[in-house]
Amino acid sequence: MLSVRNLTKKFAGKDALKGISFEVSRGEIYGLLGHNGAGKSTTLGIILSMVAAGSGEVLIDGISVQKDPRQALRKVGSIFESPAFYDYMSGWENLKVLVGLSGTFDGEKAREVVERVGLSERIGSPVSAYSHGMRQRLALAQALLPEPEILLLDEPTDGLDPEGIKWFRDFVLGLREERGMTVLFNSHLLSEVEQMCDRVSIIRAGELVYEGAVNDLRDDRPALKITADPPEALREVAERFRGEQMPGERWVFPEETVIPEVVSALVEAGVALSELTPMRRSLEDVYLEHSQLK
């Protein structure tokens, strides 16, 4: 459904993207992870034809965004972090103006979508009176009109309260369930990516440093946070158990490792333990390892 091929981009002579490539299949929810300035928004900008790629190509359902942006974007609905509406107009008028740019505005269809996003009662109020959550619902409504096949979400849950985040997540998952909607989800909220996405890629400094299924990314190997003295003795014991040192005094052991045996071995080796905490290696850990922030 979406094919991003070898995208490069420079801003003021500096590389913002260095050959990003990934594919999103129909009906898949794909997460783009990366810290601020990593290149996520630039990638999204190129997909939406708002940013000109230095080189490379984006295909949406086989149509090149670079060659025929109008045709390619017909299948796309998008939501940005802090969506900017015309505050002095009502939600309904905003929908009319924005959806009108895609073709004819179908009032009946719009009413259905507005009801679905739970905005029926306030759709006639000026957007200036909307809360952040209501703006995000309006953004969702405009993205779903007319019927897109792929949704591009740029940090859509930023600033939402936990209830709003859950509502948004359930709504998007429901869209995939009902319509087989394809979603590209750009976020730095790892828990959201973990709960929503099938596959994920991590972008760091304009480079794609990881791509795979969310389940593959999650690591269920036993992990311990160990603060001990002397560190050389700790290392020797841990390595005997084929432990792998991670940032932040953490050690990850093979799946079959029996942790009490590791603890006994440390005690027998005369290692003075000041902290030993079992840990689950989260998606966040994996993300930070790949993005080399830790």
Partner 1 sequence: MMFLSQLKGELRKLFARKRTYIGYVVFLVFEALLLTLWVQVGRDQFEALAKRNFVPVELLSSSLTATYWIMGFSMFLLGSIYFALVAGDIVAKETEDGNMRMVLARPVSRLRILVLKYFAVMIYTVSFVIFVGVTGYSMSLLAMGSEGGLFIWNPEMYILAIYPDRDEAFWRLFIGACFMGLSMCVVSSLGFFFSCLKIKPAAASVMALSVFFIDFVLQNIPFLVNYKDVFITFRMANWVYVLQENIPWDRIVESYAILMGLNISLFIFGWMAFQSRDFKT
Closest to partner 1 by CB, 68 or 239: 68
Residue with tokens 């259905």: 112
Sheet holding 250-252, edge to edge: 244-246, 250-252, 223-229, 272-279
Q: Cβ of residue 124: shortest distance to partner 1, in angstroms?
A: 14
Closest to partner 1 by CB, 85 or 167: 85
Binding positions for partner 1, rule: CB under 8 A:
11, 41-42, 45, 48-52, 69-74, 76, 78, 80-86, 88-89, 93, 96-98, 100-105, 142, 152
Q: Cβ of residue 78: shortest distance to partner 1, in angstroms?
A: 4
DSSP state of 277: E
Q: Cβ of residue 153: shortest distance to partner 1, in angstroms?
A: 12
Q: Cβ of residue 141: shortest distance to partner 1, in angstroms?
A: 12
Q: Cβ of residue 41: shortest distance to partner 1, in angstroms?
A: 6
Q: Cβ of residue 85: shortest distance to partner 1, in angstroms?
A: 7
Closest to partner 1 by CB, 39 or 243: 39
Residues 238, 241, 242, 246, CA torsion sign: negative
Q: What is the DSSP string of 44-57?
A: HHHHTTSS--SEEE
Closest to partner 1 by CB, 41 or 182: 41
Closest to partner 1 by CB, 18 or 225: 18
Q: Which two tokens stand for residue 192?
A: 């959201």
- Taking the C-alpha atoms of residue 257 and residue 240, their distance in angstroms, rounded to an integer, is 11
Q: Cβ of residue 104: shortest distance to partner 1, in angstroms?
A: 7
- Which positions ≥6 away from 112 have C-beta within 8 Å? none
Closest to partner 1 by CB, 129 or 258: 129
DSSP state of 22: E
Which CA distances in Å does 23 have to 60, 81, 201? Answer: 10, 23, 10
- Taking the C-alpha atoms of residue 286 and residue 169, their distance in angstroms, rounded to an integer, is 22
- Taking the C-alpha atoms of residue 71 and residue 76, their distance in angstroms, rounded to an integer, is 10
Closest to partner 1 by CB, 97 or 276: 97
Burial class (CB in 10 A: 0-12, 13-18, 19+), 31: buried
